[in-house]
Amino acid sequence: MEFSPPHDNNMPYLSAVDVDDSLVDDLWNRVESCGSFYSIGDGVSKEVFRKVLFASALVLRGESVVIRLEASEVLEAHPIVLGHSFFRHAKEALSEVVAIRDRLFASRPVCCIIPVKMRGTKALARIAGMTQTGAVMRSLSGVAIPCAVFTWR
């Protein structure tokens, strides 16, 4: 089942969604068994997953993707890719995230922190127009994971 939000002329690829228990339940049913780095990060438990969704500055939904945004000194994008069709529109979706950044979070760079071993996710970041700009160690549920920093400039 793909997510297909209603499209408008200003944002044909993404639309803002309200975070509520129904969204949490629906998404959790899709990600709870995905494993890999996600399951020791945002998906370690439904409670953690719910907490990060509700704490997000904004949550966007598009065809086979949900992107939660965390705003600090940067605007960190956390995409939850639910199908391969998102690869076709990754660049356009990122341009919509950048437009939102320009309106709501001016001057903050847009970045993704991606575990080094997640080659497909790094390829998706490159397809979207991001460049690797650094490396960090990210603690996911107490486990230090080497990660690449991708930034849109």
* pLDDT tens-digit map of 89-133: 889 999 999 999 999 988 899 999 988 888 888 988 999 999 999
CA 14/CA 37 separation, integer angstroms: 25
Amino acid 125: pLDDT: 92
Amino acid 18: pLDDT: 93
Percent helix, strand and coil across the chain, each to the nearest 5: 35, 30, 30
pTM: 0.84
Strand pairing report for 14-16 and 110-115? unpaired
* pLDDT tens-digit map of 50-79: 998 999 999 999 988 899 999 999 999 988
Amino acid 7: pLDDT: 44
Give the whole-number percent of the chain exceeding pLDDT 90: 41
Spell out the alpha helix ranges (H) of 56-116: 90-104
